[in-house]
């Protein structure tokens, strides 16, 4: 969601609101179809296969953070972004370790 907000802000400079909304609607439909296909195709899949897909997805999110979001945040907010990022990861790790997430 944060990445989409940033992308939308950039798109507003060169695209109409209706074109941006259409683009996000198409992305939402494609995402829903992909989720449905994954649900059907992976029904009964082994835990190891599901874990492998989740690991790849987690890696993609980390790449997006490192490549796009962190540099922009650093430009806007300075070095405190590193501390906030570390605190966020530590909190997520803690919550997943104690069984909340």
Q: Where are the domains of the chain?
A: 1-43, 45-101
User: Distance between CA atoms of 42 and 51, rounded to whole angstroms?
Assistant: 12
pLDDT, position 1 = 66
pTM of the predicted structure, to 2 decimals: 0.58
Where does the pLDDT of residue 2 fall: very low under 50, low under 70, confident under 90, or very high at 90 and above? low
Residues with Cβ within 8 Å of residue 64, at least 6 apart in sequence: 3
Q: Is the pLDDT of residue 43 over 70?
A: yes
Question: 81 with 74: CB under 8 angstroms?
Answer: yes
Q: How far is CA 86 from CA 2, 57, 82, in A?
A: 18, 20, 6
């Amino acid at each position: 969601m944060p990445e989409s907000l940033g992308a939308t802000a950039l798109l507003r400079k060169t695209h109409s609101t209706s074109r941006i909304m259409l683009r996000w609607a198409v992305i939402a439909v494609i995402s829903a179809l992909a989720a449905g296909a994954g649900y059907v195709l992976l029904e009964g899949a082994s835990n190891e296969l599901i874990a492998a897909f989740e690991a790849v997805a987690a890696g993609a999110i980390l790449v997006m953070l490192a490549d796009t979001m962190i540099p922009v945040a650093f430009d806007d907010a300075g070095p405190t972004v590193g501390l906030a990022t570390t605190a966020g990861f530590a909190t997520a790790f803690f919550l997943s370790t104690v069984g909340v997430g």
